[in-house]
Amino acid sequence: MRKFILKRLIQLVPLLIGVSLISFFVMHLAPGDPTSLFTDPNIDPVELARIRANWGLDKPVILQYFYWLGNVLRGDFGNSYMTGQPVLHEILQRLPNTLLLMISSYFLTLLITIPLGVISAVRKGTWFDNLVTVLSFIGMATPSFWLGLMLMLLFAVELDWLPAVGMYDVLSGSHGPIATVFDVFRHMILPLTTMTILSLAGITRYQRAAMLEVLDQDYIRTARAKGLPERIVIYKHALRNALIPIVTILGLSLPGLFGGAFIIETIFAWPGMGRLGVLAIFQRNYPLIMGIVVFSAVLIMLGNLLADIGYALVDPRIRYAKK
Amino acid sequence: MNNLRRKLLVLSLLVMFLAGCSGQSHRAVKSVKLPDPSQADQNGRLVLSLAGEVSILNPILSTDTTSSAVEGTIFTGLITFNENLEPVPDLATSWSVSKDGKVWTFKLRRDVKWHDGVPFTADDVVFTFNSILDPKVNSVRRGDYIIDGRPIVFKAVDKYTVKAVLPKPFAPFLTRSGMSIIPKHILKGKDINTAAFNRKPIGTGPFKFKEWVTGDYLTVVRNPGYYLGKPRLAEIIYKIIPDENATLVALEAGEIDSAGIPPKDYKRMKSMAGVNVFEYDNLVYTYLGFNLGNPKFKDKRVRQALAYATDKKQLVSLLFKGLASPAYAPSAPISWAYTNEVAKYHYDPAKAKALLKEAGAQDLEFTILTNQGNKEREKAAVILQQQFKKVGVKVNVRVMEWSALLKIVNAPTGPKDFDAVLMGWSLGLDPDAYSIWHSSQYPKGFNFIDYHNPEVDRLLEKGRLTMDKEKRKQVYAKLWQIIASDQPYLFLWYPKSVVGVSERVGGLSKPSPAGLMLHLEKVFVTK
């Protein structure tokens, strides 16, 4: 197992170089450059050319890539064109906010969807199952910006229970760590609810399908034939096996966790990675785009590795050979 | 069957719940209600919203309006502009220009201190302009202080006098001298592009920088030693809310004190309790620019015909519900250099058809390019398509991402590969429009439609050399008349700015393109 992990970690290096090389060229293929946003009759185009040269953008793309790679190997991801701040600093400022929201939503989703999926599968065709199915389709069809605004109008304007936007109450100021945690929690409720409602549908359907498949297996029939109580059949024999696909989803959702939810972050003015990434692309802020690409590539690869290790733990049929 | 009925019931309940959420009670339109200054809160905090992220707090580097909005509270310049957009003293008490128009002298205030207590002097002014002129500093403003390839020379005559020596007379310089001043004692010898100062600025303005939580909010606090008087507000908090609708919800919920209002929400916000709505004109116009290097638009009669075919009143009322006005010239009505005496080509489809026939362009077909993300422009292109169809002109609309569009119009060599573009210009306070209309600004430059008229070139040059305001006004009036007659652009509209401000905010200035909080030190909030 240790050898397997080590091998996978070593494989990361060429993979990362490949990812960064392709991203770098694709990024430069997009029309425009960081000075495109400065189009203003009062700005002399000569000055824009000078600034591009200061950033090294007048050099051939392949050279630019090697400069960039050389700096990254020395731990320097460069500075954002727009803010002049180190890229790493910009990313690390946003990442915790995104992770807080995304991971909370993820666990909340699992907490709701697994029981829902299981019950729907066990009671297939009943009114409960149908209700869950209808709600799932409504959830999938609801645009997030609309749901977000509706929740905001209801809870922040009409009822005035919760704050509408942001992460902190800017007027209360800081009153120590406990008050701050409570403050962030209050601000999280609406974006978290919106995200969770919208992601319920998918995983509920997954869980329901996985459970239905397992319930059809011979060993379940055997368990029932043995005369085991239905509760034990469902929760011990069936559920454990039906959870294996969820591990796959866990691995696959890691990029989403890192990337943030752009629309939710925009509507609720949540200072996360999604907004930073989209802005970076819009501004053609090359160093920041590359920083985000490399960061997310590493996280995705580690996520896949974790999922593979997770398989070995939950599924006794999977063993990573020593050869 | 039973199942289906249950499902329908659940669905209809859900629809009713959601519809209920958005239900609006009917409220009457009300007039502006300003608070009583005697009720001002000495510890008052004003919460404003910003639509974009603040990128950098250094006025010589920033290029976005969001950063500029915050910088406006922290920094000040030699001169500033009043509600009527006229230059007035700020850090400079007075200024004069030599007879030959080349030497400008600014006398500075002696009572100004930087936020860290260090006195402000002429050295700071010289340092600021020299930093902008430094090619290594990534300032887009550098070109403002270079005339015919030669930089303006700034000199400190004594501690409180600055001289600017221009290579030749240049009237727009006065407006450009309003650039915010940065402190020499902090930035000298540093790499200005990446200095820590840019996130923790020190200025001479009414508010001091306090805190910046990236992507979320930014706080500035009262500068009690501000040279125009102690500000009445204790703090201003800028909250970053990228979404337009969420910004309005935050205003309704009382989380922010002010928000820009899009035309679609104008009626609703106008009748909302607790909010005053102000409207003002801006130095902005939207146009359809014809590529004159393209044979389709070489004939002036074709451009005039399209102007006659445009029902600008209908366009403006469909798009803005009255919150914009039709445009006829490349200047804005609130500019001192504007003239109303220009050819207007009022809507006349019969005349349009006749002119097209005369020019042999009955079968004209062309493509309008415009940028994605600007809903008004996208809709305007479609409305123009319909209007032109009535005179037999076929229009295709192509909406492109901003950078992709710029790649076409900013192509470094002519002829450029487009028919017409629907875009807008935001004008400076000075009427100089050399970069847009002078023939030297093609193909590299903003005269990307390849307009050249020797008389226009001459007037643009004369406008820059003429120091007397009345004489300059005549130069520009003539200029706008010629351009309007030529119709290289079909001028479309001037949008209005509409701003909602909480009724607890007072001390506002007369609504103008300079905003409502021109005298920031006088703004207050009630308890």
Work out the average pLDDT over B14-33.
Answer: 47
Domain range holding A199? 94-272
CB burial readout A203-214, b (16+ within 10 A) else e:
bbbbbbebbbeb
CB B506 within 8 A of CB B526: yes
- Please report the pLDDT score of residue A320 as a whole number: 66
Other beta carbons within 10 angstroms of residue A118's beta carbon come to 22
- Please report the pLDDT score of residue B233 as a whole number: 95
Q: Closest chain A residue to B4 measured between Cα atoms?
A: A130
Q: Which of A165, A186, A288 should be substituted to probe chain B, the one whose Cβ sees the most B Cβ atoms within 10 Å?
A: A165
Q: Is the pLDDT at B254 greater than 50, yes or no?
A: yes
Q: Closest chain B residue to A90 measured between Cα atoms?
A: B214
Q: Is the pLDDT at B206 greater than 80, yes or no?
A: yes
Burial of residue A302 (number of CB atoms within 10 Å: 0-12, 13-18, 19+) = middle
Contacts of A32 in chain B (CB under 8 A): 402-404, 406-407
Q: Which of A44, A95, A135 should be substituted to probe chain B, the one whose Cβ sees the most B Cβ atoms within 10 Å?
A: A44
Q: What is the DSSP letter of B240?
A: E
| CATH number of the domain within which A252 lies | 1.10.3720.10
Write out the two tokens for A124: 């297939």
Q: Residues of chain B with pLDDT > 90: what percent?
A: 67
* Residue contact A47–B140, C-beta within 8 A: yes
Pick the closest to residue A188 from A171, A164, A172 (CA basis): A164
d(Cα A301, Cα B31) in Å, to the nearest integer?
60
Segment B319-358, tens digit of pLDDT: 988 889 999 999 999 899 999 999 999 999 999 999 999 9
User: Coil, helix or strand for B253?
Assistant: coil
Cβ-nearest to B217 among A45, A50, A166: A166
Pick the closest to residue A90 from B215, B57, B194, B209 (CA basis): B215
Residue whose token pair is 């997030």: A144
Write out the two tokens for A160: 């005035």
What 3 state SS string does A157-200 have?
A: HHCCCCCCCCCCCCCCCCCCHHHHHHHHHHHHHHHHHHHHHHHH
What is the band of B290 on the pLDDT scale with cuts at 50, 70, 90? very high
CB B526 within 8 A of CB B274: no
- The three-point CA angle B290-B291-B294 to 5° equals 125
Cβ-nearest to A153 among B213, B217, B249: B249
Sequence-distant (≥ 6) Cβ neighbours of residue B382 within 8 angstroms: B397
Other beta carbons within 10 angstroms of residue B34's beta carbon come to 13
- Please report the pLDDT score of residue A237 as a whole number: 80
Give me the number of domains chain A comprises: 1
Burial of residue A173 (number of CB atoms within 10 Å: 0-12, 13-18, 19+) = exposed
Q: Return the number of CB contacts < 8 Å for A and B.
A: 183
Q: Is the pLDDT at B88 greater than 60, yes or no?
A: yes
Segment A58-110, tens digit of pLDDT: 889 999 999 999 998 898 899 898 888 899 999 998 888 988 998 898 889 88
DSSP B128-160: HHHHHH-TTS--GGGGGGEETTEEPEEEEEETT
Write out the two tokens for B126: 């010289």
Cβ-nearest to A83 among B56, B425, B444: B56
Pick the closest to residue B291 from B489, B493, B492 (CA basis): B489
Amino acid identity of residue B185, one-letter, is H
The tens place of each residue's pLDDT in chain A, 323 residues long, gives: 778 888 888 888 898 999 999 999 999 888 878 887 776 767 777 888 888 888 888 889 999 999 999 998 898 899 898 888 899 999 998 888 988 998 898 889 888 888 888 888 888 888 988 898 888 888 888 888 899 999 998 998 888 888 888 888 877 766 677 888 888 888 999 999 998 888 888 788 888 888 888 888 888 888 888 888 888 888 878 888 888 877 777 777 766 666 667 888 888 989 988 889 888 988 889 999 999 988 888 888 887 888 788 777 777 777 665 54
Question: What mean pLDDT is reported for chain B?
Answer: 89
Phi-psi region of A67 (alpha: psi -120 to 50; beta: other; left: phi over 0): alpha
- The three-point CA angle B178-B179-B185 to 5° equals 125
Q: Closest chain A residue to B148 measured between Cα atoms?
A: A44
Reported as half-sphere exposure (CB side, CA atoms, 13 A), residue B29 has a value of 5
* Residue at A14 is within a domain: no
Helix pair angle (A127-141, A87-122), 10° resolution: 150
Write out the two tokens for A197: 């409602």
* Residue contact A153–B446, C-beta within 8 A: no
Q: Which of A83, A85, A150, A288 should be substituted to probe chain B, the one whose Cβ sees the most B Cβ atoms within 10 Å?
A: A83
Kind of pairing, strands B524-525 and B284-290? unpaired
Distance from CA of B13 to the nearest CA of A (A): 12
Q: Is the pLDDT at B298 greater than 50, yes or no?
A: yes
What 3 state SS string does chain A have?
A: CHHHHHHHHHHHHHHHHHHHHHHHHHHHHCCCCCCHHHCCCCCCHHHHHHHHHHCCCCCCHHHHHHHHHHHHHCCCCCECCCCCCEHHHHHHHHHHHHHHHHHHHHHHHHHHHHHHHHHHHHCCCCHHHHHHHHHHHHHHHCCHHHHHHHHHHHHHHHCCCCCCCCCCCCCCCCCCHHHHHHHHHHHHHHHHHHHHHHHHHHHHHHHHHHHHHHHCCHHHHHHHHCCCCHHHHHHHHHHHHHCHHHHHHHHHHHHHHHHCCHHHHHHCCCCCHHHHHHHHHHHCCHHHHHHHHHHHHHHHHHHHHHHHHHHHHHCCCCCCCCC
* Residue at A71 is within a domain: no
Cβ-nearest to B253 among A39, A41, A157: A157
- Please report the pLDDT score of residue B44 as a whole number: 92
CB A28 within 8 A of CB A277: no
d(Cα A268, Cα A265) in Å, to the nearest integer?
5
> How far is the CA of B369 from the CAs of B134, B166, B225, B391, B427, in angstroms?
37, 40, 52, 20, 21
Segment B151-189, tens digit of pLDDT: 999 999 999 999 999 999 999 999 999 999 999 999 999
Work out the average pLDDT over B308-321.
Answer: 92
Distance from CA of A127 to the nearest CA of B (A): 7
Contacts of A55 in chain B (CB under 8 A): 138
Other beta carbons within 10 angstroms of residue B138's beta carbon come to 22
Phi-psi region of A12 (alpha: psi -120 to 50; beta: other; left: phi over 0): alpha
d(Cα B510, Cα B524) in Å, to the nearest integer?
15
d(Cα A245, Cα A247) in Å, to the nearest integer?
5
* Residue at A154 is within a domain: yes
List, in order of start, the domains of chain B with CATH numbers.
Answer: 76-204 (3.90.76.10), 284-495 (3.10.105.10)
Distance from CA of B86 to the nearest CA of A (A): 19
* Residue at A85 is within a domain: no
* Residue at A70 is within a domain: no
Write out the two tokens for B470: 């009345």
d(Cα B189, Cα B148) in Å, to the nearest integer?
29
Contacts of A266 in chain B (CB under 8 A): 242-243, 246
**R_g (Cα) of chain B, nearest Å:** 26
Reported as half-sphere exposure (CB side, CA atoms, 13 A), residue B55 has a value of 25
* Residue contact B45–A127, C-beta within 8 A: no
- Please report the pLDDT score of residue B1 as a whole number: 37
- Please report the pLDDT score of residue B28 as a whole number: 44
Sequence-distant (≥ 6) Cβ neighbours of residue A107 within 8 angstroms: none
- Please report the pLDDT score of residue B202 as a whole number: 96
- Please report the pLDDT score of residue B145 as a whole number: 94
User: Coil, helix or strand for B75?
Assistant: coil
Contacts of A50 in chain B (CB under 8 A): 135, 142
Pick the closest to residue B60 from B122, B134, B115, B111 (CA basis): B134
Q: Which of B55, B61, B284 should be substituted to probe chain A, the one whose Cβ sees the most A Cβ atoms within 10 Å?
A: B55
Q: Is the pLDDT at B25 greater than 50, yes or no?
A: no
Contacts of A272 in chain B (CB under 8 A): 215
- Please report the pLDDT score of residue B361 as a whole number: 87
Distance from CA of A243 to the nearest CA of B (A): 29
Phi-psi region of A4 (alpha: psi -120 to 50; beta: other; left: phi over 0): alpha
- Please report the pLDDT score of residue A199 as a whole number: 81
Long-range contacts, A296-302 (Cβ 8 Å, 24+): A296/A255, A296/A258, A296/A259, A297/A15, A297/A16, A297/A19, A297/A20, A298/A12, A298/A16, A299/A254, A299/A255, A299/A258, A300/A254, A300/A255, A300/A258, A301/A12, A301/A15, A301/A16, A302/A254
- The three-point CA angle B127-B130-B135 to 5° equals 135
Cβ-nearest to B425 among A41, A131, A158: A41
User: Coil, helix or strand for B212?
Assistant: strand
d(Cα B69, Cα A84) in Å, to the nearest integer?
19
* ω into B443 cis (within 30 of 0): yes
Write out the two tokens for B72: 């406006």
**Ramachandran angles phi, psi of B318, nearest 5°:** -70, -40
**Ramachandran angles phi, psi of B501, nearest 5°:** -130, 135
The distance in angstroms from the start CA to the end CA of chain B is 61
* Residue contact A32–B252, C-beta within 8 A: no
H/E segment holding residue B280: strand B275-281
Segment B112-147, tens digit of pLDDT: 999 999 999 999 999 999 999 999 999 988 989 999
Residue whose token pair is 């920031």: B520
* Residue contact B249–A157, C-beta within 8 A: yes
Question: Which range (B27-31, B112-116, B487-491, B499-503) has the least confidence?
Answer: B27-31
What is the band of B17 on the pLDDT scale with cuts at 50, 70, 90? very low
Work out the average pLDDT over B236-245.
Answer: 91
- Please report the pLDDT score of residue B14 as a whole number: 41
